[in-house]
């Protein structure tokens, strides 16, 4: 057992006063493939945002590879935890596919060759190499989701969080995406995927975590 995500007595109350998470304890080990399910508004996305530090606990602790997320910046955590948003348009900002995917690695101040290697690898993984110079705005929503996914992969994080993999895609795209995620899992990535689709849960997840209220 090699715990990569450790959550201890996690609480989160939004400034509006809504208590979205009330006491979660969970440990996820390296290379697990976990599905997170639960009704709308049960706190799945709020939970996921704690793993990459976008949100900090109101109370309790979140550790990623032993690092306390409250003491780390989002940019540091992004090397370890990649989060594909529910809506890809919340994370796409550049005007070509390749600059979008290179954006994160550039911020790591890597060598040019290393950036290029990562962009190539990530675009190849999501089958978008031929769209390198296209503006993401001209792509379909499913393709934009793959661009968003490639930009996360380019950071080479060990934990991947996919929030609603089927959003904006037909079932076949969802399957293709999860086949890719499955391969990445077999290569050593730890995967958390948040979904309402029980067929995908049955087909891919090794462990299921249910959120309530
Ligand atoms: N930015 C925010 N400000 C205030 N309240 C929020 C915010 N984001 C979420 N909430 C509230 O926190 C609770 C949990 O929301 P969250 O988005 O985490 O649920 P979810 O399980 O991801 O839902 P869904 O299945 O619809 O994606 C809900 O009551 C929601 O209204
Ligand atoms: Mg959500």
DSSP lists the bridge partners of residue 22 as: 11
* pLDDT (tens digit per residue) in 33-83: 999 999 999 999 999 999 999 999 999 999 999 999 999 999 899 999 998
Identify the residue whose C-alpha is closest to ligand 1 atom 4: 14
Q: Helix or strand or coil: residue 29?
A: strand
Query: Which residue shows structure tokens 């959003």?
Result: 167
Cα-Cα-Cα-Cα torsion 30, 33, 37, 40, nearest 10 degrees, comes to 70
Element (H or E) spanning 107, and its range? helix 97-107
- pLDDT value of residue 203: 92
Give, using CA atoms, the residue closest to atom 26 of ligand 1.
Answer: 40
Distance between CA 147 and CA 132 in Å, rounded? 10
Please, are residues 154 and 101 in contact by the beta-carbon 8 Å criterion? yes
Q: What is the pLDDT of residue 168?
A: 52
Asked if 115 and 102 touch (Cβ cutoff 8 Å), the reply is yes
CB 23 within 8 A of CB 72: no
The residue whose CA has the least distance to atom 24 of ligand 1 is 40
Structure tokens belonging to residue 1:
């057992």
Cβ atoms of 209 and 161 closer than 8 Å: no
| pLDDT, tens digit, 9 for 90 and up, residues 143-169 | 888 899 899 999 999 999 988 755 555
User: From the CB of 41, is ligand 1 less than 6 Å away?
Assistant: yes
Residue ranges covered by each domain of the chain: 31-52+76-211
Using most ligand atoms within 8 A of CB, pick from 42, 87, 161, 193 the residue to mutate for ligand 1.
42
- CATH number for 31-52+76-211 (one of 3.30.70.2740, 3.30.70.120, 3.40.50.10540, 3.40.50.300): it is 3.40.50.300
Which pLDDT value is given to residue 173?
A: 64
């Amino acid at each position: 057992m090699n715990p990569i995500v450790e959550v201890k007595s996690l609480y989160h109350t939004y400034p509006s006063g809504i208590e979205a998470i009330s006491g979660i304890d969970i440990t996820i080990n390296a290379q697990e493939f976990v599905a997170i399910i639960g009704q709308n508004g049960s706190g799945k996305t709020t939970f996921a945002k704690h793993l990459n530090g976008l949100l900090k606990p109101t109370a309790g602790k979140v550790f990623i590879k032993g690092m306390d997320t409250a003491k780390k910046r989002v940019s540091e955590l992004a090397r370890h935890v990649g989060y594909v948003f529910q809506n890809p348009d919340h994370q796409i900002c550049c005007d070509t596919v390749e600059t979008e995917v290179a954006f994160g690695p550039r911020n790591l101040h890597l060598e040019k060759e290393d950036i290029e290697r990562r962009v190539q690898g990530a675009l190849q993984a999501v089958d978008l190499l031929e769209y390198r110079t296209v503006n993401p705005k001209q792509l379909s929503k499913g393709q934009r989701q793959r661009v968003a996914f490639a930009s996360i992969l380019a950071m080479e994080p060990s934990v991947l969080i996919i929030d609603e993999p089927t959003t904006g895609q037909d079932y076949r795209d969802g399957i293709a995406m999860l086949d890719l995620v499955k391969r990445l899992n077999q290569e050593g990535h730890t995967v958390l995927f948040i979904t309402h689709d029980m067929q995908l849960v049955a087909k891919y997840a090794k462990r299921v975590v249910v959120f309530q209220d």
